[in-house]
Amino acid sequence: MDPKLKRKIDNAKKRAGVTRVNSPKMTPDHPRKKAVVVGKVGDTVRVIRFGDQSKGHNYSPEARRAYKARHAATIKGATKLDAAYWANQYLWGGPGKSKKAPPKGQTRVFGKRKG
């Protein structure tokens, strides 16, 4: 690997606080974003922060379908250097990805009353 590219990757990993490239990590202490990843495609390296920290986490199947329908055009053309790609894969990926359920105090689950 080119030493210049290796230095670029190491600096990005250090700045993002991750240990591997193309491996997302949750950032609960970040003021605005839920997760971070150092994306690399070819010789391009980028720190990508994605997910809105102020939003809850209703990752129910109904919410997942609605998210994917709402963002279908953005997701379709996304590469590993886009926040849309990582949000779709990591936060909204489905079985085997995010295991979060809606918070216990939440009274509605995507338009339906809990109870």
For the segment 30-69, what is each residue's pLDDT rounded down to a tens digit? Answer: 999 999 999 999 999 999 999 998 887 777 888 888 989 9
- 81, 41 Cβ separation under 8 angstroms: yes
Mean pLDDT of 18-35: 93
Residue 105 has pLDDT above 80, yes or no: no
Structure tokens given for 35: 């997760």
Q: Is the pLDDT of residue 102 over 70?
A: no
Distance between CA atoms of residues 80 and 39, nearest Å: 6
- CB contact set of 45 (below 8 Å; sequence gap of 6+): 5, 8, 9, 12, 21, 38, 39
pTM score = 0.79
Confidence (pLDDT) at 113: 56
